[in-house]
Amino acid sequence: MRTPTIRRRPLDERPASPPFLDPGLRLEATLGEPLDLGDLVQGRRRIVPLTGGTLAGPELNGKLLPGSSADWQIVLPDGTALGDIRYTLQTDDGILLYVRSRSVRHGSADVVARLARGEDAGASEYTFRTSTQIETAAPGLEWLNKGVFISVGAVRLPGLVRDVLAEAAAPVCTYSAGARRLAATVGGDCWAMTSVLS
């Protein structure tokens, strides 16, 4: 049996440029008591309310609205948490943003067990990443509807922080991803993404 060979095209023959990431927003949120629905075919279903929080960034600041915000998680047998996080943000100007993130959080059995018991674990001990879409009807913020956003997160009890990176239109920064860390180089300085989810 012949092993297939994968040939990567040279950079000058590729149709699109690689993405450039800009630091975008920081979300800090508090978590409510999880609702445990039990084991389903997909895994253990948990609903974790987001009870409040703040949004901060160079162009947007605001708050997370409770009552319309939660993480509908599926926890796999190995402790990996697959999140379907939906929340509503209100900017300081009163504009509403609907945000939906798909996340994956995984780590060693020991770290996952500590997180499941509600104990703290260092952000470097596990991986927490999300892809995010944002919707708004505000004319001045239509760029959010077209944005590509990724986040680096960490659980920090009793809440959370997520740093959101936005795809930039121009090459203002480059990025490299490691198993435990994502860093961006901005203006010649290395800017390490740190995010804490409480």
Cα 38 from Cα 143, distance rounded (Å)? 39
Instruction: Give pTM, 2 decimals.
Output: 0.71
Angle value at C-alpha 85, between 82 and 90, nearest 5 degrees:
165
Residue 144 phi, psi dihedral angles, 5° rounding: -65, -35
pLDDT tens-digit profile of 150-196?
Answer: 887 777 766 666 666 555 443 332 333 332 223 333 333 323 333 33
Cα 178 from Cα 197, distance rounded (Å)? 20
- Taking the mean position of all CA atoms in its chain, how far away is CA 90? 18
Q: Which domains, from first to last, does the chain contain?
A: 18-192 (2.40.160.20)
Cα 24 from Cα 80, distance rounded (Å)? 27
pLDDT tens-digit profile of 149-160?
Answer: 888 777 776 666
pLDDT tens-digit profile of 107-136?
Answer: 898 988 887 777 777 778 888 888 889 999
Q: Is the pLDDT of residue 5 over 50?
A: no
Residues 6+ apart with CB under 8 A from 161: 26, 27, 28, 29, 153, 154, 194, 195, 196, 197, 198
- Whether a cis peptide bond, with omega within 30° of 0, leads into 15 is no
CB 79 within 8 A of CB 116: yes
